[in-house]
Chain A
Amino acid sequence: KQEVTQIPAALSVPEGENLVLNCSFTDSAIYNLQWFRQDPGKGLTSLLLIQSSQREQTSGRLNASLDKSSGRSTLYIAASQPGDSATYLCAVRPKEYGNKLVFGAGTILRVKS
């Protein structure tokens, strides 16, 4: 059974700092991995999707990497801003499940001004 773990559970950083969020998964048989942002009481905003054949994806100040063989992904946020404060969720799409996603518990990020 696929399990997704995110570390740290919570992170507080001063504005302008670069930071890394970690995600690990137990079964490397995945189609892709996706990073989401969730604001309190809101739905999910997709940030980056990395296909299993890719190593990384970039969007603005965000960079996500994928090492499928070791079951790890990182989300790098450059020059963090208070508006980046949110919960960041990592999810994998296991090959045996079709389009189902298995989510990690998330990392709560707070960027202090």
Chain B
Amino acid sequence: GAVVSQHPSWVICKSGTSVKIECRSLDFQATTMFWYRQFPKQSLMLMATSNEGSKATYEQGVEKDKFLINHASLTLSTLTVTSAHPEDSSFYICSASSTGVTEAFFGQGTRLTVV
């Protein structure tokens, strides 16, 4: 399968600071990228969908001004958690897919801890 690389794998930040998470498709052009969030012992919940060159589409209840998503190229999408608070601590996972491909490929995830 295709390779999606997510970085960093874990990060600890102070409350009030911003954190950027990168998601790269290494061997294919990702026309669409998805960002998921996973709380402990819960399943993945979709946060937003981004298409290359377009604004992201956020799921209901997700604050777009807090979770900034950029998908400026076909191989890179970033999620920036702005003014992070302890309740933002979670596991964030990206996935990427190409037009016409019925499977999405997942990154390794980023464990964010806000202290």
Interface of A toward B, CB cutoff 8 Å: 31-32, 34, 36, 41-44, 46, 49, 51, 89, 91, 93, 98-106
- Give 9 A-B contacts (CB < 8 Å), ordered by A residue: A44-B106, A46-B103, A51-B102, A91-B44, A93-B102, A93-B104, A101-B44, A101-B95, A103-B43
Contact A44:B1 (CB < 8 A) given known A98-B49, A100-B46, A103-B44: no
Cα distance A93–B6 in the bound complex, in angstroms: 22
- Nearest A residue to B51, CB-CB: A98
B108 beta carbon closer than 8 Å to chain A: yes
Across the interface, do B6 and A43 meet the contact criterion of CB distance under 8 Å? yes
- Nearest B residue to A100, CB-CB: B46
Interface secondary structure of B, over-half rule: strand
Residues of A within 8 A of B34 (CB): 99-101
Interface secondary structure of A, over-half rule: strand
Cα distance A44–B104 in the bound complex, in angstroms: 11
Cα distance A29–B19 in the bound complex, in angstroms: 38
Residues of A within 8 A of B45 (CB): 103
Digitize B21-47: 1 where CB-to-A-CB distance is under 8 Å, 0 elsewhere. Answer: 000000000001010000000111110
Across the interface, do B104 and A42 meet the contact criterion of CB distance under 8 Å? no
Across the interface, do B42 and A99 meet the contact criterion of CB distance under 8 Å? no
B70 beta carbon closer than 8 Å to chain A: no
Across the interface, do B97 and A99 meet the contact criterion of CB distance under 8 Å? yes
Interface of B toward A, CB cutoff 8 Å: 1, 6, 32, 34, 42-46, 49, 91, 93, 95, 97, 101-109, 111
Contact A104:B43 (CB < 8 A) given known A43-B107, A51-B102, A98-B32: yes
Across the interface, do A89 and B43 meet the contact criterion of CB distance under 8 Å? yes
Q: How far is the CB of B9 from chain A (nearest CB, A)?
A: 9
Q: How far is the CB of A80 from chain B (nearest CB, A)?
A: 22
- Nearest A residue to B59, CB-CB: A100
Cα distance A29–B49 in the bound complex, in angstroms: 20
Across the interface, do B111 and A44 meet the contact criterion of CB distance under 8 Å? no
Q: How far is the CB of B42 from chain A (nearest CB, A)?
A: 7
Q: How far is the CB of A73 from chain B (nearest CB, A)?
A: 15
